[in-house]
Amino acid sequence: MTRASPPLRSAALGYEAARAFGGLLPLIDDPELRDLMIQVTRGVGRLWLDRGESLTRVEGWAASPEAVRRFAIALLAAGGRHLDELHPCADVHLGEGIRAHAVLPPVAVDGAAVSIRLPRMAALDFGRLVADGLCDPTTADVLRSAVAARQNLLVTGGTATGKTTLLAALLDLVPAGERIVTIEDLAELRLAHPHRVALESRQANIEGAGEISLERLLREALRMRPDRLVLGECRGAELVTMLAALNTGHDGGAATLHASRLSGVPARLEALGALAGLGPEALAKQAVSAIHLVVHLERTADRSRRVSGLGRLRLTGGVLAIEPIPIGSAASLGRRAAIAGRTLRGSTGTTR
């Protein structure tokens, strides 16, 4: 049986957005392309592409600084945002999951700069990710069991480590009869799950009105009878609202967090908690109770993405800490299986 091709990204673009892309439109449908960037360097606009490995410059492609400026203004206008000297920075959502950001001079010193992030054209299932080397089979079993046991998961990692990809694959393991509500700044989670409601935040308009924040969307989601509550990325005060929700019976939730190392997760959580006025000890108690398993990702030397660590949050002497869980060794099998098979809601996670 032939697998259907994923839909083209350009098919979801409106007329104005497609027109703004112009000759770059065919690139939007490249299934491997993740990022497209145009910037002015030494008086010439250059095109850079990232297909999941590293940024490479497109040889022979050049544009005048004025052409790059016109492109930036037209692209942002297609998404309903105005760009000029008084408002030189803005970002928009285009089509289904395309995010465009632009900066004009004089803020962009050398000339206009445009950054475009493209979503995956098709989701990767968890089995495929494991087969491609995401993790060893034992770790894969732990993650499957954690989803089945309705544990609350925090997927962490640096930039472009595959946090969203892994989260989407894990959510597709959720039974079809459960209702998933996802909250994101940009709807990037590509799920095959049949019962998913996707909520996306909205920026204020040029008059400063109409903003819908992640924090507000979380409160709205709680009224939608979610079986699984998912926050695409914790980046601000919405973390506290999410932790409160997970601590009031909404098990099986998940979120992602930007952190370069597993050991750095507690500090990142404390920093975000501070944005909401929550002190370190109060945040620590909330986080330890709410988050059952931390899954950390990294990019290896060969640019592949891999689960590099599992951890549990702990409260040690009033300080938030993380206890690494060894992976990839037979000695840790029993411990990891036990973690995946029980709910930690009743444990304070406190050590002395």
- Residue 1 in any domain: the answer is no
Determine the pLDDT at residue 47. 98
Closest CA to 85 of 110, 105, 69: 105
Q: What is the CATH number of the domain that holds 304?
A: 3.40.50.300
Tell whether 4 is covered by a domain: no
Q: In the chain, what is the straight-line distance between the N-terminal and C-terminal CA atoms, in Å?
A: 58
CA distances in angstroms from 341 to 140, 180, 259, 279, listed in the order given: 14, 22, 26, 32
Domain end position, chosen among 117, 138, 166: 117
Query: Would residue 191 count as lying in a domain?
Result: yes
Kindly state whether residue 2 falls inside one of the protein's structural domains: no
Q: Of 84, 117, 150, which residue is a domain's last?
A: 117
**Placement of tokens 């957005």 in the chain:** 17
Give the torsion sign (CA, 169, 175, 177, 179): negative
Cα–Cα distances in Å, from 17 out to 64, 73, 95, 210? 21, 11, 8, 22
The reply to whether 85 falls in a domain is yes
| 316 and 210 fall within a common domain | yes
Closest Cα to residue 180, out of 166, 196, 168?
196
Confidence (pLDDT) at 331: 39
- CATH number at 56 reads 3.30.450.370
Domain that includes residue 144, residue range:
126-351
Q: Are residues 90 and 206 in the same domain?
A: no
User: For each of the chain's 352 residues, which pLDDT tens digit applies?
Assistant: 444 556 688 888 989 999 999 999 999 999 889 899 999 999 999 999 998 778 899 999 999 999 999 999 999 999 988 999 888 998 888 987 788 999 999 999 999 999 999 887 777 899 999 999 999 999 999 999 999 999 999 999 998 899 999 999 999 999 999 999 999 987 888 888 999 999 998 877 777 788 899 999 999 999 999 999 999 999 998 999 999 999 988 999 999 999 999 999 999 999 999 999 999 999 999 999 999 999 999 988 777 899 999 999 999 988 999 999 986 543 344 444 455 554 344 444 444 3
39 to each of 45, 48, 69, 80, 141, how far by Cα in Å?
5, 8, 10, 22, 44
83 and 147 belong to one structural domain = no
Residue 327 has a pLDDT of 65
268 CB-side CA count, 13 A: 21
Q: What is the count of structural domains for the chain? A: 2
